[in-house]
Amino acid sequence: MYFYLKGKVSLHQKNSIVLEVNNIGYQIFVSHPDDYPLLEECLVYTVFYVREDEQFLVGFKTFEEKMLYSKLVQVKGVGPKTAINILGAAKLEELIDAINNSNLLFLKSLEGVGPKTASQIILDLKGKISFESSISGDKNLDDAIEGLKSFGFSIKEIKDVLKDVRPNSKSVEEYISLALKRLNTNR
């Protein structure tokens, strides 16, 4: 529902930040609140959860962190809050290496991850996580492409509508907006 929010960080808490967007403060649970400087404008990638008894936003500094989180919550035994704790306990590269190298000891050492859950994470995600390759060489454009893929567009459709766009010229939002306009006129 909310792909990202852009606004000023107005408050840090133990495991969350408050992001002010158009005079509305959104509490967003994040793995490292100190990564979001107070009173500075930030773009925070988000996932919105609605449960029977609660609603909350989870936020990420990078699109890669959001994608890993999305994969983690699909693993049996890993809920939204456990996944954010896992991301908060280790660097992204360390987690990916641990999963791809079947490092059960490392995963079991993370808060909220027992032996069964660690084994399930390895079973479900080993070899399926890689963020190393850049499609365009422009981080904003790469993030936009990944976002558009999550909307269900094929990589061919996306590349066709963005082929004449100069890299390093736009923000993630501008790339997505431009691509959506072009994709909607092509359909």
**Roughly what angle, to the nearest 10 degrees, separates helices 80-89 and 92-100?**
100
Predicted confidence at residue 122, as pLDDT, reads: 93
Say how far apart CA 75 and CA 40 lie, in whole Å.
Answer: 35
Residue 17: strand, helix, or coil:
strand
The dihedrals phi and psi of 35, each to the nearest 5 degrees, come to -75, -10
Predicted confidence at residue 10, as pLDDT, reads: 95
Say how far apart CA 54 and CA 111 lie, in whole Å.
Answer: 22
Predicted confidence at residue 167, as pLDDT, reads: 66
The pLDDT tens digits along the chain (187 residues) read 788 999 999 999 988 999 999 999 999 999 989 999 999 999 999 999 888 898 999 999 988 899 899 999 999 989 998 999 899 888 888 898 899 899 999 999 988 899 999 999 999 998 887 654 445 557 788 788 878 877 777 777 887 887 777 766 788 888 888 888 888 776 5
Say how far apart CA 36 and CA 97 lie, in whole Å.
Answer: 26
Cβ neighbors of 73 (< 8 A, separation 6 or more) are 79, 80, 83
Predicted confidence at residue 5, as pLDDT, reads: 94
Residue pointed to by tokens 């360390």 = 94
CA distances from 7 to 1, 26, 105 (A): 17, 10, 39
Q: For residue 112, with 0-12 CB atoms within 10 Å meaning exposed, 13-18 middle and 19 or more buried, which class applies?
A: middle
Predicted confidence at residue 90, as pLDDT, reads: 86
